[in-house]
Structure 1
Amino acid sequence: MNAPAHARKPRPPRRDEPGSAAAIPQDARPGADADATAERGERIAKWLARAGVASRRDAEKIIAEGRVKLDGKLVTQPATFVQPQDIVTVDGQAVNEPERTRLFRFHKPAGLVTTHRDPEGRPTVFERLPEGLPRLISVGRLDLNSEGLLLLTNDGALSRRLELPANAWVRRYRVRVFGDLDPRALAALAQGVTIDGVRYAPIEAGVDSRKGDNAWLTVALQEGKNREIRRVLSYLGLEVSRLLRVSYGPFQLGTLERGGVDEVNPKVLREQLGLAAPTRRR
């Protein structure tokens, strides 16, 4: 005889059913984020990254250098926790509490270095930004003589996510070169190449136009080693006279004017990066 309906024990949901633990994203489960709890607060390295001071890894370096204080006391451990009422300073300057994640497109002109402080006194990207923006860090770098799309964000964790080669964000460039161009050598880059003991991952390179010893190429890669394109093309006997990044993942340079800044719509961030919509404060 079947047990009465009221006496039956409820069947636990299958792992793939709504409401099962497996069906709930890890970061949505209670206690999933040990860094941020009501009792302990948030680890200061992560807090600094979300505040746009630096990536979490670089925030740990800043802490190790003795540049961070919490309520006036020197912080020596990146595992130190921050509460909402705490005051955090870096190099003596108060850091504002992290706000919602924001991402900006910047059309970097040649002649700017991608750093906040340059020991040689050269002009920096951040000195060229208009007033009123939050504290920003770059997603990767463009070297002094390179130009084009540079992504800027106030969230160090997002910067790290976009930079990691494992996440396979494609960077695409237009490159003007001079020299004896061999299309077969360009095609061979798709297998990767080792130069002076450094292994470079596969690179897609094609010829867009050619006139004499000058040519325009389109180059695409999924990692960004220092001066990678210049070094690889130099290895092929080509001199780079102009290097312009035109896209980074789904984000395009488009018609953004040189030196211009444009914020990526929050809806686009949610759709392209899966970021949660900001919560409204009550």
Structure 2
Amino acid sequence: MERLQKLIAAAGHCSRRAAEELIRDGRVRVNGKVVRELGTKASADDEIEIDGEPLKVPRRHRYVVLNKPEGYVTTRHDPDGRPTVYDLLYQDDAGLHPVGRLDRDTLGLLLLTNDGELTHRLTHPSFQVERAYHVCTRPWPDKRLLSRLRKGVELEDGLARPVACSIPLPDTVEVVMTEGRNREVRRMFEALGLEVLLLRRVRLGSLTLGKLKLGKARPLKPEEVSGLRALVGLE
């Protein structure tokens, strides 16, 4: 949300000072109501009119990464009353949408934005954007099971095969996928007879969590945004 006169100026209609005069004169409506207070705030999602003509406000893209804990669902409202990832965000980030989903029991990197084109490209299979996950299981997979995992696991909705599979830590398997099928990674390990104790997404394309603490969110750095956009041909 920003001051109304700032939005009017950002849209190129006039200067901020001239916008203040328009507001004082009662020539500006927000969502059908005349606004005269200079402290009024609005956003690009509001319907703003000047002298009865709609104002096209450029939408400023925003990008936030969340280190999602277990127990939170990736939805705006949950009919069962479970906590959602939006409970962990600032109020100004409530209008952002998740880029893909993490199920309730999966931790880690969740990107949220209002950049629709970037969301489409990051999630569409044709762009082959990598998603890296760390998985802890019981029992620990032996060489035979790891070999089967690398070759791909047949699921009810088709073959699931990681593009890479490694052991970065003594008790952790890292798998890299380029699809985002529902609970795909968890189902792969379960199909091999392994119980998933922990599943954490650690990377989406070029984006990582860095030192972001569990349950915390932060805006992306300009170079992180540029890296993601370049990855899918937007820069």
With the length of structure 2 as denominator, give the TM-score of the two structures: 0.69
Amino acid at match of 1:217: V
Amino acid at match of 1:130: Y
Matches within 5 A, 1:131-280: 131-133=91-93, 135-179=95-139, 181-210=141-170, 215-274=171-230, 275=234
Distance 1:185 1:262, change over 3 A: same
Q: Secondary structure at the match of 1:132?
A: helix
Range that drifts further, 138-147 or 194-203:
194-203
Range that drifts further, 131-140 or 180-189:
180-189
Q: Which has the higher contact order (CA 8 A, sep 6+)?
A: 2
Q: Secondary structure at the match of 2:105?
A: coil
- Contact residue 102 and residue 154 of structure 1 kept, 8 A: yes
Distance 1:257 1:125, change over 3 A: same
Percent of residue pairs bearing the same amino acid type:
39
Shift of residue 104 of structure 1? 1.2
Q: Distance in 2 between matches of 1:139 and 1:185?
A: 31
RMSD: 2.7
Q: Distance in 1 between matches of 2:102 and 2:66?
A: 11
What does residue 65 of structure 2 align with?
105
- Structure 1 unpaired stretches of 5+: 1-70, 73-83, 89-95, 277-282
- Contact residue 101 and residue 155 of structure 1 kept, 8 A: yes
Larger-gyration structure (1/2): 1
- Structure 2 unpaired stretches of 5+: 1-30, 33-43, 49-55
Amino acid at match of 2:135: V
Shift of residue 179 of structure 1? 1.3
Q: Secondary structure at the match of 2:93?
A: coil
Q: Distance in 2 between matches of 1:155 and 1:271?
A: 14
What does residue 15 of structure 2 align with?
none
Q: Distance in 1 between matches of 2:189 and 2:74?
A: 22
Matches within 5 A, 1:66-77: none
Q: Secondary structure at the match of 2:91?
A: coil
Shift of residue 197 of structure 1? 4.8
With the length of structure 1 as denominator, give the TM-score of the two structures: 0.58
Distance 1:260 1:97, change over 3 A: farther
Q: Secondary structure at the match of 2:159?
A: strand
Amino acid at match of 1:128: L
Equivalent residues, number: 184
The 4+ residue runs of structure 1 with deviation greater than 4 A are none
Distance 1:226 1:271, change over 3 A: closer
